[in-house]
Chain A
Amino acid sequence: MSAAALAGRGGPAVAVGRRGFDRALLLAIPATLFMVLLFVYPFLYGLWLSFAPAKGGALANYRTFFTTPDLWPTIGITLKLALPATLINVGIALPIAFRMRVRGRWQRVVTTLLVVPITLGTVLIAEGMLNYFGPKGWLSHTLQLLHLYDGPIRLTHNYWGVLISLVISGFPFAFLLILSYVTGIDPVLARAAATLGAGTFAQFRHIYLPLLAPGLAMCFCLAFVQAFSVFPSAVLVGAPAGPTRVISIAAYQAAFEQYDYSLASAIAMIMGFVQLVIVAAVLGLRGLFYRGPVAGGKG
């Protein structure tokens, strides 16, 4: 992009401001206007609304949130689900994506298979889990047949059900995202390392991992954001009244069961804030790693 800008008028991107107003800029106006009206304005409105409760001072909603025993623990409950799920998903997706980095038949087959759980969505996965992981489902039968576990297994309507559903929907997402980063790294770099005697692990450790760090940080953030906003599966395969009463359930109930939009907005803002803290921490860690081009050669 910067090279193109330097190339001036012959390049793909033309700097504006040399000769009056450029009408091509008008083309971005509908999209900008739309985003301002339907994304920025509601967000700011929600922020304002959260400080304007029906009764009490400006901070009454936030005080309510941090003093009500079924509201403030939702932060911890959500983090206890979202952080392990994200670590599992990214931690397992990374070595598998690294193994699959060479374009070939298997890469195509596996990526195609893994797209299915993403597009089916969390609601369908939850319904399937109730059948399959339920106490009378196939999994329970198989475990009993193999005498691995004799009692009825309890993997639905509790913490584990939600964690499993987060892994089923989140792992393929993390895998495909990391795969797109891994395949974006020029294999020439790894081959150069190999000629100097680096084995597969050394190549991974010294070539791929540093180059992947920004991508991994991004992937962790996106996977975390998804897991943190868990809603349908926490209701359907979790225990929404107790151990999996996540923060989005609290926000939803405030808005659509108590019709307290002000409190609901405050919960949504707290949710955004907690998530922002985690994302900022991860991106801060990323800053410790190498930053630069991921292509070898002339690039």
Chain B
Amino acid sequence: MSAAAIGAQPTRHASAGGAAKLLDRAWRGLLAGLMVLFVVNVALLIAAVAVNSVATRWLGTWLPAGWTLSWYQQSWSDFQLAGILWVTFEVVVAVVVLSLAIGVPAAYTLARRDFPGKRALLLLFLLPLMVPPMTYGIPLATVLYQMHLAGTIWGVILANLIPAAPFVILVMTPFIEQIDPNLESAARVFGAGTGRMFTSVLVPLLAPGILAASLLVLVRTIALFELTFLTAGPDSQTLVVALYYAVFAAGVRAPQSIDAMAMIYMLVTLVWLLIALRFVNPTQLVSRVKEHPVPAG
């Protein structure tokens, strides 16, 4: 790109071109340096947690005095991680399934139909992604406490669905727009009802989109802190909230034990992230709308 750009300015004076090239190179070096600085520091930050989780004692030296894996065992029993992992699993599966169940049909309507109030509906689905969780989380927690749902796993699932369902809708809508409506008409001609058309025509064609949406929701739900924190009770904490409480009450437990738990959390997230990255573009994790499908012709 840059070579083409430079090649395309034959009229420029030679020495000015040299200075510009030098400046360009310095600028590129600066940007690369910033990037390397960032990535290296984050990598070391993660490595520090990893090293501490297998250290016998580590006080102000480069490397710990000795190595051990016993903190993982201790962390597992101290923080009752088996139960927490099970709750996390239940919450994540329920959120993925329910957000797909209500999100995909709504995305279908938004992709295929024009109706009065469509813009208002879009706004309704966009707002939860624009307002920070803390702002609507506190009134939501108040309502859930009145309904005696807060503190239970159902309260946590409902709260996590609020950002998840709109996310599914916004990811799925471009996928559905991309499918030729003639396929649906053909299914109708052969006598398929709406339900049959959905299961036999749309769902198989949408499988890649549904897979991408469910992985994105999964990764985001594991990491979503605020809403779970506000609505969870002692028996309905997910891994990230349990980790927060462990770090918050640091001093009660050995720091290595907390770091062992942090490593378990990190491994759970990273495994799913690696699976997700096989099917989705990294930018999809932050931006909601998929790249526009290229129209044929």
B48 at the interface (CB under 8 A from A): yes
A12 engages B177 (CB within 8 Å):
yes
CA distance A49 to B145 in the complex (A): 14
Q: Is B141 an interface residue (CB 8 A)?
A: yes
Cβ B262 vs Cβ A124 within 8 A: yes
In angstroms, Cα B121 to Cα A49, docked, is 26
Q: Which of B6, B106, B111, B247 contacts A126 (CB 8 A)?
A: B247
- In the complex, B132 has a CB within 8 A of chain A: yes
A153 to chain B, nearest CB (A): 13
When distances are taken between beta carbons in the complex, the residues of chain A under 8 Å from B250 are 130
Q: 1/0 contact trace for B260-283 toward A, CB 8 Å?
A: 001001100110010001000111
Select one of A42, A96, A115, A118 contacting B139, CB under 8 A: A42
Minimum Cβ distance to chain A for residue B92 (Å): 13
A194 touches B8 (CB 8 A): yes
Least CB distance, A14 to chain B, in whole angstroms: 6
Which residues of chain B come closer than 8 Å to A264, judged between CB atoms? 138, 142
Instruction: Name B272's closest neighbour in chain A (CB-CB).
Output: A119
Q: A227 CA to B138 CA in the complex, in Å?
A: 18
CA–CA, A42 and B137, complex, Å? 9
Q: Which residues of A contact B59 (CB under 8 A)?
A: 136
A299 shortest CB reach to chain B, Å: 10
| Residues of chain A contacted by B219 (CB below 8 angstroms) | 119
Q: How many residues of A contact B (CB 8 A)?
A: 108
Stretch at the interface among B28-36, B73-81, B204-212: B28-36
Let me know if B140 and A42 touch, CB within 8 A: yes
Known: A13-B112, A13-B113, A116-B270. A31 touches B287 (CB 8 A): no
**How far is the CB of B286 from the nearest CB of chain A, in Å?**
5
* Chain A residues positioned under 8 Å from B114 (CB to CB): 5, 13-16
Q: Are A31 and B102 in contact (CB under 8 A)?
A: yes
A236 in the interface, Cβ–Cβ < 8 Å?
yes
Given contacts A12-B177, A124-B262, A171-B38, contact A180 B52 (CB under 8 A): no
Residues of B within 8 A of A49 (CB): 139, 142
- Which A104-125 residues sit within 8 Å CB-CB of chain B? 110-125
> Contacts A99-B28, A176-B286, A180-B287 hold; do A110 and B35 have CB atoms under 8 A apart?
yes
Cα distance A269–B49 in the bound complex, in angstroms: 37
Beta-carbon nearest neighbor of B101 in chain A: A30
Is B243 interfacial (CB-CB < 8 Å)?
yes
By the criterion CB–CB under 8 Å, are B269 and A120 in contact?
yes
State whether B142 touches A45 (Cβ < 8 A): yes
B28 nearest CB neighbor, chain A only: A99
A229: which of B20, B112, B132, B141 is its contact (CB, 8 Å)? B132
* CB pair B143 A42 closer than 8 Å: yes
Inside 8 A of B135's CB, which chain A residues have their CB? 229, 268-269, 271-272, 275
Distance (Å) between the CB of B50 and the closest chain A CB? 9
B247: chain A residues at CB < 8 Å are: 123, 126-127, 130, 236
B8 with A132: CB separation less than 8 A: no
B: number of interface residues (CB 8 Å): 103
Within 8 Å by CB of B1, from A95, A102, A121, lies A102
Using known A-B contacts A5-B114, A34-B161, A111-B282, determine if residue A231 contacts B226 with beta carbons closer than 8 Å.
yes
CA distance A284 to B13 in the complex (A): 42
Chain A residues whose C-beta falls within 8 Å of the C-beta of B62 in the assembled complex:
138, 141
For B115, what are the chain A residues with a Cβ–Cβ distance below 8 Å? 15-17, 22, 25
A residues less than 8 Å from B69 (CB atoms)? none
Task: Let me know if B269 and A45 touch, CB within 8 A.
Answer: no
**Closest residue on chain B to residue A255 by CB atoms:** B138
A132 touches which of B48, B121, B132 (Cβ 8 Å): B48
Bound-state CA distance A95–B28 (Å) is: 10
What is the CB-to-nearest-CB distance from A27 to chain B, in angstroms, rounded to a whole number? 4
CA distance A101 to B283 in the complex (A): 13
The contact of A194 among B4, B49, B181, by CB within 8 Å, is B4
Selected from A35, A39, A173, the residue in CB contact (under 8 A) with B286 is A173
Q: Tell me if A211 is interfacial: C-beta within 8 Å of chain B.
A: no
- Contact among A23, A38, A127, A252 with B161 in the assembled complex (CB-CB below 8 Å): A38
Bound Cα distance from A112 to B46, whole angstroms: 16
| Complex Cα–Cα for A136 and B58 (A) | 10
Instruction: Give Cα A16 to B240, complex, Å.
Output: 45
With a 10 A CB-CB cut-off, give which of A16, A38, A95, A264 has the most chain B CB atoms: A38
By the criterion CB–CB under 8 Å, are B138 and A46 in contact? yes
**CB within 8 Å of B: which A82-108 residues:** 92, 95-96, 99, 101-102
Is A229 a contact partner of B226 (Cβ separation < 8 A)? yes
**Chain B residue nearest in CB terms to A295:** B292
- Which of A53-61, A69-77, A196-204 interfaces with chain B? A196-204
Give bound CA distance, A275 to B105, whole Å. Answer: 32
Which chain B positions have C-beta within 8 A of A46? 136, 138-139, 142
Interface residues of A in 4-54 (CB under 8 A from B): 5, 11-17, 22-25, 27-28, 30-32, 34-36, 38-43, 45-47, 49
Interface string of A183-219 (1 = CB under 8 A from B): 1100100010011011110010000000000000000
Contact present for A271 and B109 (CB under 8 Å): no
Contact B262 A127, beta carbon cutoff 8 Å: yes
- Other contacts beyond A30-B106, A199-B6: 7, CB < 8 A: A38-B159, A38-B161, A46-B139, A99-B31, A138-B62, A171-B38, A180-B286
Q: List 11 A-B contacts (CB under 8 A).
A: A14-B112, A28-B110, A31-B125, A112-B277, A116-B273, A129-B45, A131-B48, A139-B44, A176-B286, A183-B283, A248-B134
